[in-house]
Chains A and B, each alone.
Chain A
């Protein structure tokens, strides 16, 4: 039960029921689809990049609580950041979900994203949590089309 409580923390359920930035971004200049065939999670991620800064970000689609909340939290945390800052945020996030010990600096960087740390106890759900981040990275690298987790 405690593990389950760690997974479905209040903030995650709240972001799942009321996702932030669930919209197509006006004037988006990047868009990539993320697809997790295992769950059927499918999100379209929209970014507006101005001079290497993510000035706006939104998404549409559906998925499980973990993937949707993770996407919602991600959009909140990367808006206004540079491409490089977003990439280092992803590496800290990825280190957290693979059960590695985080530095204080990384924890500070992650902020609210730390609510997803409970996913580490549910290995098959790690892909749910990282789907949107892989999609974001593809978008930042200028890729198009669909990113699949398997």
Chain B
């Protein structure tokens, strides 16, 4: 039966047929039909936030139109329906990550809050003076600052895995850093400013050999790569809904049940308790212990719809298609004189960070915007990465499965225009 060997069949279909019907997919994203400054929008800023398919927009409208009510403990039908949908979204996330149980899925505001939760709860509980936390040289500020705050509070030390000139982590240095004082490793899966896909499986394996738990910042990986937290064996995995076709203000913290269960609450309030008296409060079970207050119900439902949409396409096809875009974009940009790509790791997601000789990234961004092309310019909340490469900023085109090779051609013509303006 097909259950015996699904993988080879899927791979065969990849070769036989075009990866994706991009034109059809683009019709699902209403914003892609709009014009910007009189030109068709070319949206190349998905690493900042993804666009939303109609299915996600509809899910939000439907919830607020027909089911809006507060979840948990409601006695009336609307509350029952809203609770079912909210918890249904949790189950969708569980399946998406291949987590063992829905109780391992905590809804948070986004990646930033997920990391702060682990730092404030697990970190504060387990870190002592002289202990060490390991992060990497390519972390987003949101996977640096929470650990800095924690280390300052505890008198602990933050250690940083260095990287080479291509933007690849030096694993042998990492291996040397791991020691008896290491309490946690927190590393980004896919770099937002360089595109590097880190060998997280190996990073986790090495840490576990020393009994050290690992948090993976999956903000840029979840929208682009098939994920399996059980196969990775990570202890925590965090990502944001809005980068994966969902609404802003919702995100996910996955944690192994045994770890979450051992952790104290992060915030106090309603929903995170079993009983409260002025003398003593009994905290709720996981995941509710970490979801104080009315959650972002619509956001979770929207995220559920996003996951449904993405899963129907298939992350393996998304990854393969985006890799083609990356290869095409890399080839086209490499041919431009005076352009240098920042981030040339062998394993890369579809992020093209670049600088132009003598032209500041912000001016690149302004000229491209006048052509309807949306890219991001600046330090991308990774100032240490900019310092590592000795540049103040980059221009970054980040691609998604709704982008096309034609749009990369428009980008290339836009860059020609930039040179024209500054010639």
User: Which residues of A come within 8 Å of B, CB atoms?
Assistant: 1, 3-4, 7-8, 13, 16-17, 38-42, 62-66, 68, 122, 125, 128
Interface contact B370-A65, CB-CB below 8 Å: no
| Chain A CB within 8 A of B238 CB | no
| Chain A CB within 8 A of B363 CB | yes
Q: How many contacts between A and B, using CB within 8 angstroms?
A: 48
Q: Which of A1, A62, A63, A125 contacts B366 (CB 8 A)?
A: A125
Tell me the bound Cα distance from A125 to B361 in angstroms.
13
Q: Which of A1, A3, A38, A66 contacts B363 (CB 8 A)?
A: A66
Interface 1/0 per residue, B333-364 and A, CB below 8 Å: 00000000000000000000000001111110
Task: Tell me the smallest distance from the CB of A43 to a CB of chain B, in Å.
Answer: 12
Interface contact A7-B366, CB-CB below 8 Å: yes
Q: For B392, list chain A residues within 8 Å (CB).
A: 39-42, 62-63
Q: For B361, list chain A residues within 8 Å (CB).
A: 64
- Give B369-389 interface residues, CB cut-off 8 Å to A: 370, 378-379, 386
Tell me the bound Cα distance from A63 to B391 in angstroms.
11
Tell me the bound Cα distance from A87 to B379 in angstroms.
32
Tell me the bound Cα distance from A42 to B254 in angstroms.
40
- Point out which of B361, B363, B367 has the most chain A C-beta atoms below 10 A from its C-beta: B363
Q: For A63, list chain B residues within 8 Å (CB).
A: 360, 392
**Given that A8-B421, A13-B422, A65-B422 are known contacts, is A40 also in contact with B378, CB under 8 Å in the complex?**
yes
Q: For B367, list chain A residues within 8 Å (CB).
A: 4, 8
Interface contact A40-B386, CB-CB below 8 Å: yes
| Known A39-B378, A64-B362; further 4 A-B contacts with Cβ < 8 A | A8-B422, A39-B392, A68-B360, A125-B362
Q: Which of B359, B362, B370 contacts A128 (CB 8 A)?
A: B362
Q: Of all chain A residues, which has the CB nearest B386? A: A40
Task: Tell me the smallest distance from the CB of A35 to a CB of chain B, in Å.
Answer: 11
Tell me the bound Cα distance from A7 to B360 in angstroms.
15
Q: Of all chain B residues, which has the CB nearest A16? A: B422
**Given that A17-B358, A39-B360, A40-B393 are known contacts, is A122 also in contact with B379, CB under 8 Å in the complex?**
no
Tell me the bound Cα distance from A17 to B393 in angstroms.
19
Task: Tell me the smallest distance from the CB of B290 to a CB of chain A, in Å.
Answer: 32
Tell me the bound Cα distance from A68 to B366 in angstroms.
15
Q: Of all chain B residues, which has the CB nearest A38? A: B378
Task: Tell me the smallest distance from the CB of A114 to a CB of chain B, in Å.
Answer: 20
Q: Of all chain B residues, which has the CB nearest A5? A: B421
15 sample A-B contacts, Cβ–Cβ < 8 Å, listed by A number:
A3-B370, A4-B366, A4-B370, A8-B363, A8-B421, A13-B422, A38-B378, A40-B392, A62-B360, A65-B360, A65-B422, A66-B363, A122-B366, A125-B366, A128-B362
Tell me the bound Cα distance from A40 to B361 in angstroms.
10
**Given that A39-B362, A40-B386 are known contacts, is A1 also in contact with B370, CB under 8 Å in the complex?**
yes
Tell me the bound Cα distance from A66 to B361 in angstroms.
12
Tell me the bound Cα distance from A40 to B422 in angstroms.
20
Interface 1/0 per residue, B389-423 and A, CB below 8 Å: 00011000000000000000000000000000110
Tell me the bound Cα distance from A41 to B370 in angstroms.
22
Task: Tell me the smallest distance from the CB of A135 to a CB of chain B, in Å.
Answer: 17
Tell me the bound Cα distance from A16 to B421 in angstroms.
12
Task: Tell me the smallest distance from the CB of A2 to a CB of chain B, in Å.
Answer: 10
Q: Of all chain B residues, which has the CB nearest A3? A: B370
Tell me the bound Cα distance from A128 to B361 in angstroms.
13
Tell me the bound Cα distance from A39 to B378 in angstroms.
6
Tell me the bound Cα distance from A39 to B380 in angstroms.
11
Task: Tell me the smallest distance from the CB of B142 to a CB of chain A, in Å.
Answer: 16
Q: For B362, list chain A residues within 8 Å (CB).
A: 39, 64, 66, 125, 128
Q: Of all chain B residues, which has the CB nearest A68? A: B360
Task: Tell me the smallest distance from the CB of A7 to a CB of chain B, in Å.
Answer: 7
Q: For A125, list chain B residues within 8 Å (CB).
A: 362, 366
Tell me the bound Cα distance from A17 to B419 in angstroms.
12
Interface contact B363-A65, CB-CB below 8 Å: yes
Tell me the bound Cα distance from A17 to B29 in angstroms.
41
Task: Tell me the smallest distance from the CB of A132 to a CB of chain B, in Å.
Answer: 15
**Given that A1-B370, A3-B370, A40-B386 are known contacts, is A64 also in contact with B378, CB under 8 Å in the complex?**
no
- Point out which of B362, B370, B421, B422 has the most chain A C-beta atoms below 10 A from its C-beta: B362
Q: Of all chain B residues, which has the CB nearest A7? A: B366
Q: For B370, list chain A residues within 8 Å (CB).
A: 1, 3-4
